[in-house]
Amino acid sequence: MEETKEEKTVTQPEEKKAEEKAKGGFNVKVLLFGLPIFIIQLVAVYFVTANILLPKIQSHSAAAETKDSANVDQKKSEDSSKHTVFGKFVYVVEDLIINPAGTDGKRLLLSSIGFDLSSEHNQQTLKEKEVIVKDAVISVLGSKNMSQLGDAVYRDTLRMQITQKLGHLMPDVKINNVYFSKYILQ
């Protein structure tokens, strides 16, 4: 009997070791087979994306650009038929001093603005209504804060807003463009 007890005690630790390896041990098969398969999948996804999906996306965007450029070319041909000359009639408002919004008069914007007009009649109209033009420009620029006025990209928005404001006040005047010849923030 004693021999069988010793055999049982010897076989039990061996079984426990085998169970522990199966439960908590590191499986080398995962590393040997799983990692290379994962890398192969990554490479396959990359090639599918680069060679199949991207050309399709680029062809769609190129088709959209072609349509847009056709529309722009058509508009340019319509504009050239009207034959508008830019820069021929420019009305300039010199040295406007504006207090930006939220500065309590501690900061200022010094600006000179040129208006590109379509005719000499429009230029004369703006000269006659200079006070209205200055007030419109001051109201648009004065309603903006320092971060907006300091942003160079935002100046295009300012040009559009000034053009719209003057368009509402003087609908018979056609403004082609607005130019900032002086734009100093202090």
First to last CA, the chain: 104
Burial-class residue 114 by CB neighbours within 10 Å (0-12, 13-18, 19+).
middle
Q: What is the pLDDT of residue 156?
A: 87
Alpha carbon distances (Å) from 114 to 90, 150, 151, 183: 6, 19, 20, 12
Q: How far apart are CA 44 and CA 32, in angstroms?
A: 19
Query: Cβ neighbours of residue 119 under 8 Å, at least 6 residues apart?
Result: 89, 174
pLDDT at res. 20: 54
Q: Strand 89-98 relative to strand 175-185: parallel, antiparallel, unpaired?
A: unpaired
Tokens of 152: 């160079």
Please answer whether residues 153 and 170 qualify as being in contact, where contact means their C-beta atoms are separated by less than 8 angstroms: no
Q: What is the pLDDT of residue 14?
A: 60
pLDDT given for residue 2 in this prediction: 55
pLDDT of amino acid 145: 87
> Using the 8-state DSSP alphabet, how is residue 96 labeled?
E
pLDDT in tens, the chain (186 residues): 555 555 555 555 566 555 555 555 678 877 788 888 989 988 888 877 777 776 766 666 655 555 555 555 555 555 544 556 676 788 898 888 888 888 888 888 889 999 998 888 888 888 998 899 899 989 998 898 888 888 888 888 888 999 999 889 988 888 888 998 888 888
Q: Please provide the size of the chain in residues.
A: 186
Provide the pLDDT for residue 186.
85
Separation between Cα atoms, residue 166 and residue 106, nearest integer Å:
28
Residue 81's pLDDT is 45
User: How far is 9 from 50, CA to CA, in rounded Å?
Assistant: 62
Give Cα 115 distance to the centre of its chain. Answer: 28
pLDDT of residue 71: 57
Q: What is the pTM of this model?
A: 0.53
